[in-house]
Amino acid sequence: MIKKLHAMGLRSSHMYAAGFAAIGASIISWMASRTAENIDRADRWGIFIGEWAPTCFALGVALRMEETHKDMEETPETTTFDRSMAGSSRARAGV
């Protein structure tokens, strides 16, 4: 799922921004509901929107890992090269 989101163009910075926006929207909705409705309903609205923030931040972390580890993926050519170099360095070290 994370690879698909990344392929669609969603980046970690977008999700971090969405997390902070959810925190701000939670506070704003709580304050607006507090004046327009009763306190219980205002608390529910604030909590409901506030629950989006951790999800956005978690997706941001997963996308950040996808962005940083995508460059580190091994290809068959580099794996073969790395193995041959490791063998020659062990031979020189006397292992």
The per-residue pLDDT for range 9-32, each reduced to its tens digit, is 999 999 999 999 999 999 888 888
pLDDT digits (tens, 9 = 90+) for 76-95: 555 555 555 555 555 555 55
Q: Token digits for 20?
A: 């902070």
**Picking from 3-7, 52-56, 88-92, which range would have the lowest pLDDT averaged per residue?**
88-92
Q: Per residue, what are the HEC states of 64-83?
A: HHHHHHHCCCCCHHHHHHHH
